Structure 1
Amino acid sequence: MTSTTAEMRPPRSEVGVIGWLRKNLFSSPTNALLTVIGIWLIWTVVSNVVDWALLHATWEGEDGKACSREGAGACWPFIQAKFSQFMYGRYPEPQRWRVDLTYVLAVIGLVPLMIPRFPGKLVNTLYMIVIFPIAAFLLLSGGYFGLPYIPTELWGGLLVTLVVASVGIAGAFPLGIMLALGRRSRMPIVRWVSVGFIELVRGVPLITVLFMASVMLPLFLPEGMTIDKLLRALIMVALFAAAYLAEVIRGGLQAIPRGQFEAADALGLTYAQKMGLIVLPQALKLVIPGIVNTFIGLFKDTSLVLIIGIFDLLGIVQLNQTDSKWFSHATAMTGYVFAGLIFWIFCFGMSRYSLFIERRLAASDRR
């Protein structure tokens, strides 16, 4: 004769929310102490931010006097009054529809490329590589098809930040691949030139590169010949980022097993076929975090173009802080917080999309 015992439920302290808290936050005296300290720090930071940004913030006003009261927090009327300059710089207001249209065209091309299952990848790629750059140049600069010419000296704000970052990324990626392949080349001249360029560029700060392009380069040009300042910055930013990106990609190439190269050679593939179809796809997949990290660093480094008199988002924020009408102790902090939030949104978006691509590629490997 057998007897069965009733199934006993686990203690409440081991399951549910209480169980999770004990297992993850209070599993030992040390973890409990760290949890309490962490909660205190989070509460302190969040409460101060909410107090500054919401509870004691100024929401209405015509000038800086409204934000000058004792204990005043963020000066949001300053952001509202200067918002158009933060987005467009000194771009003529009647022509700002051209900037908006450029953004729309960019979204039309980027969104289908970023969605893995979206059809027509080849068409979208050709659009972003060939059609969009030409359309963006014609729209932003003008001088064609009846559009007034807008000199780059009037560009500024988020427009310049996105232009420098996007052109820098688009130029640095293929150049970085070529430099990485050149550094591993068996031809001495190609290898020496690639190594020399990479080490030279990585040995100097970006500020120095931009300063040389702005001040020294015109001295070597023929008399009467000039190169647009923004164009010089775009070229130097792309070259600077390419040197760092080349080392990231070279790390991925070195991680590929030797058997992959030998198998491609055994199939009779040419060098271009071997690299384009076999080696590079695997290498680039391995170094996605490093590539995105370089792109994020490049996006943040766009603020350094202020050194050569190009007013990006951060530069235009600093410029507007000199407006005597909006002078107050809260104006500067509010402007910097606004600029930091914009930078964080773009950088966080790139980071999350990178994680999405990594998970998708990892899932394909498991299949």
Structure 2
Amino acid sequence: MIGPPEGSPRVVLAGGDERAVAIAPAAVPLTPAESLRQNLFSSWWNGALTIGAGLLVGYLGQALLRWALVTADWDVVAANLRLFMIGRFPVAEAWRIWAATYLIAVLAGASWAASGARLRWTPSLIALRAIAAAATLAFLLFLLDGLRIWVLLVGLGAAVGLGVAIGRAGARRLVRPLLIGWAASFPVVIVLLVGFGGVPPQRWGGLVLNLLVAVVGIFASFPVGILLALGRRSALPAIQLASVGLIEFVRGAPLYIWLLFGEFVLPFMLPAGLDLPRIVRAMIVVTLFSSAYVAEIVRGGLQGVHHGQYEAGRALGLSTTRLMGLVVLPQALRNTIPALIGHFISLFKDTSLLAVIGFIDALRIARISPQGVFQGDLKQTLLFAALLFWIVAFSMSRWSQRLERRLGVGER
């Protein structure tokens, strides 16, 4: 009998049986030089491709940096920064947006701290964060002018710090209050924007509009999508057919068509006397469109749950509702986190289609702002709009990665 490799750990079975089970030895980490040689220079062909690709990337990178730092005129972005952020929202009412931003900042800081997350301070990460902070500060110094905006930004940082302090102090005890706070934050934000003589939705625009529509679409489509996924797997034919029909009907046309439907057709289908604002109709369309895709993602997660989980729940005497809510859905949603976050990122980027029905979002502002003395500066405004979208999408992606590591997605 061939035994396990020398030095491999041995597993002692119940009853004192010392028959060994061979376990593969732990992988030896490679040094940076060994990793480069193994992955990039393992053969002459790979080495040539690596050198060629490196030269091409270096050339394109230096050309882009030279254009961005020397050739390009970014005054068009600085002059239209307020439009990029809030559109036609009155400046005198901008305090409403700042109040909502402070509220979200406190909740975000408290949630991050209460989750037990900690920043790692390795030398490489310290250097990377220092470079990013310096670049961000230089960028803000160029774009922002006036003491008031800097005071507001410092206050925003203080709001995040306050949230972190609250989260550190409360830790796990804050889980339920934070969930309630996040659930209540959206109606509070809406009241801040439109209540007490606020700004009508027709004046909303810029990145604020993209974020509001995306947030509504994400949080409203998630429960609706779960219900559709459960309905598609229902044993009742009527519910199953209705769910399948709605999902396939909505997925059969792009969001562009559904936005046009919500703008020009939906008003004629509403009861007499019910006149929904244009932004509400757009949010309804985005929610239904996203719900169909969420339903398919969740359905895939439900199919990935082993039948033994259902049998174990039934053996414990759980009702169908409790079985689904306590056993099946948590596992299905855990397995679909990467796909769900990817869809939500795509949904946020798709909010730029609001321009086709007349809304002035960040991308449309980027297209119309190069006028007059800024004629010909379209590349700068489009690049800045792309940067805004990338910052939000990257933040969502990083949060998803932390959540996946916390839940051990793909590890067990």
Regarding TM over 0.5, the answer is: yes
Say which of 11, 29, 32 aligns to 2:47. Answer: 32
Conserved? CA contact 1:252–1:284, under 8 Å: yes
Aligned residue in 1 for 2:94: 96
Taking a change above 3 Å as real, the CA distance of residues 53 and 309 of structure 1, as seen in their structure-2 partners, is same
Inter-partner Cα distance in structure 1 for 2:301 and 2:35: 39
Aligned residue in 2 for 1:248: 297
Aligned residue in 2 for 1:202: 251
Aligned residue in 1 for 2:408: 362
What are the equivalent positions in structure 2 for 1:53-64 lying under 5 Å apart?
53-56=68-71
Matched to 1:357, the amino acid is L
Aligned residue in 1 for 2:212: 163
Conserved? CA contact 1:112–1:121, under 8 Å: no
Conserved? CA contact 1:113–1:125, under 8 Å: no
State the 1:316 CA deviation: 2.0
Say which of 336, 341, 344 aligns to 2:390. Answer: 344
Matching of residue 123 in structure 1 with residue 177 in structure 2 = yes
State the 1:75 CA deviation: 2.1
Inter-partner Cα distance in structure 2 for 1:88 and 1:26: 50
What SS does the corresponding residue of 1:134 show, helix, strand or coil? Answer: helix
Aligned residue in 2 for 1:214: 263
State TM-score, norm by structure 1: 0.85
Aligned length: 327
State the 1:22 CA deviation: 2.4
State the 1:16 CA deviation: 5.7
Inter-partner Cα distance in structure 2 for 1:96 and 1:30: 58
Give me the CA root mean square deviation.
1.8
Inter-partner Cα distance in structure 1 for 2:42 and 2:337: 36
Conserved? CA contact 2:335–2:409, under 8 Å: no
Aligned residue in 2 for 1:87: 85
Conserved? CA contact 2:334–2:409, under 8 Å: no
Gap runs ≥5 in structure 1? 1-14, 57-73
State the 1:364 CA deviation: 11
Conserved? CA contact 2:262–2:282, under 8 Å: yes
Taking a change above 3 Å as real, the CA distance of residues 335 and 20 of structure 1, as seen in their structure-2 partners, is same
Say which of 188, 194, 208 aligns to 1:141. Answer: 194
Conserved? CA contact 1:256–1:283, under 8 Å: yes
Matched to 2:194, the amino acid is S
State the 1:106 CA deviation: 1.7
Aligned residue in 2 for 1:48: 63
Describe the superposition over 1:183-203 as per-residue Cα deviations: whole angstroms up to 9, x where unpaired.
Answer: 001111111111011000000
Aligned residue in 1 for 2:276: 227
Inter-partner Cα distance in structure 1 for 2:211 and 2:101: 10
Inter-partner Cα distance in structure 2 for 1:286 and 1:341: 30
Taking a change above 3 Å as real, the CA distance of residues 17 and 239 of structure 1, as seen in their structure-2 partners, is closer
Describe the superposition over 1:98-121 as per-residue Cα deviations: whole angstroms up to 9, x where unpaired.
Answer: 011111112222343345234311
Matched to 2:177, the amino acid is V
Inter-partner Cα distance in structure 2 for 1:16 and 1:168: 46
Matching of residue 176 in structure 1 with residue 225 in structure 2 = yes
What SS does the corresponding residue of 1:27 show, helix, strand or coil? Answer: coil
State the 1:18 CA deviation: 4.5
Conserved? CA contact 2:192–2:198, under 8 Å: no
Matched to 2:106, the amino acid is I
Conserved? CA contact 2:338–2:400, under 8 Å: yes
Inter-partner Cα distance in structure 1 for 2:356 and 2:50: 44
Inter-partner Cα distance in structure 2 for 1:221 and 1:44: 57
Matched to 1:52, the amino acid is W
Inter-partner Cα distance in structure 2 for 1:75 and 1:37: 32
Conserved? CA contact 1:156–1:310, under 8 Å: yes
Give identity over the alignment, percent.
40
Inter-partner Cα distance in structure 2 for 1:158 and 1:32: 44
Inter-partner Cα distance in structure 1 for 2:201 and 2:373: 27
Conserved? CA contact 2:301–2:333, under 8 Å: yes
Aligned residue in 2 for 1:23: 38
Conserved? CA contact 2:76–2:369, under 8 Å: no
Inter-partner Cα distance in structure 1 for 2:256 and 2:366: 20
